[in-house]
Amino acid sequence: MKKETVVLITGCSSGIGKNLCNILHAKGYKVIATARKVESIQDLNASLKLELDVTKKESIKKAVDETVSRYQKIDILINNAGYSVRGALEEVTISDVRAMYDVNVFGIIHMIQAVVPTMRDQRYGKIINIGSISGRFAQAINGGYCSSKFAVEALSEAARLELYQYNIQSTVIEPGPIKTNFFNILAKNSDHLMSNADSPYTSFYKSDGGQRSSQKKTEVEAAVREIANIIEKRRLNARYKVAVPMKLRLVVMLPHTIRERILRNY
């Protein structure tokens, strides 16, 4: 029954993670909400609220151990923590990209390594990795973030193959643009670089800024309801697109040469 299903979610301070906590809690799940600063999630509807930094193994171990100690299991892991840094590959700093990878990629590996032993013992589990439609095709000045989400695709597929024998399923959710704080954080992380008028990539940066301001985004509640419905499926597919506009769905399907030609002009 749902009331007996324990769900651990990372990155719950805002956006998809925050809304997933509220929706799954309302559905009757035992929701373990986590964030780097536990005070940022005090207003959430959750059975347990814990501090968890996906870049720190000791923080992960403490949160997972406390969850298992209290509920004796973890049925569903939702790897939601992530963010974006944007900039041309020539200009973006390695330290910024490395920090992003620590959260977006290595954070997922850390969480899988911490949770899978419990799932394997109970012979059941679901791992839901929040990726991005940007993990299916790269865009100019977004190579660092896209590459991190390409990695999420590979990690999710590998886990799916490795853990099938233990009745543990893995899937990746590929959201399109959603109305969350994601783009505000992106701007905070990237605009100092992208506002440089002397950059050889100024035309890309201006185009990106204009697109971000005019881009149609899906309401977060609608997107999260769709994600919640996916989580409840008995058998998970390898990947699901959520809130992805038709034009981006078409880009993913196009042959590489045609896609490249379109993205150059875009």
Percentage of residues in the chain with pLDDT exceeding 70? 98
| Mean pLDDT in residue range 47-67 | 98
What's the mean pLDDT when you consider all of the chain? Answer: 94
The pLDDT confidence band at residue 265, using thresholds 50, 70 and 90, is confident
Q: 78: alpha, beta or left, given left = phi > 0 and alpha = psi -120 to 50?
A: beta
CA–CA distance, 8 with 19 (Å, rounded to integer): 14
Tell whether the model's pLDDT for residue 182 goes beyond 90.
no
Domain carrying residue 236: 2-265
CATH number at residue 52: 3.40.50.720
Among the options 83, 145, 205, 240, which is catalytic? 145
pLDDT recorded at residue 1? 43
Domains of the chain: total:
1
Asked whether the CA dihedral 189, 171, 236, 35 is positive or negative, the reply is: negative
pLDDT recorded at residue 3? 59
Percentage of residues in the chain with pLDDT exceeding 90? 84
Write down the H helix ranges in 27-176.
57-71, 94-104, 106-122, 143-163
pLDDT recorded at residue 264? 86
pLDDT recorded at residue 184? 83
Tell whether the model's pLDDT for residue 192 goes beyond 90.
no
Q: Which of 140, 79, 141 is nearest to 111 (CA)?
A: 79
* Structure tokens that stand for 107 in this block: 């954070």
Q: Is 145 annotated as catalytic?
A: yes
| Mean pLDDT in residue range 81-102 | 95
pLDDT recorded at residue 2? 55
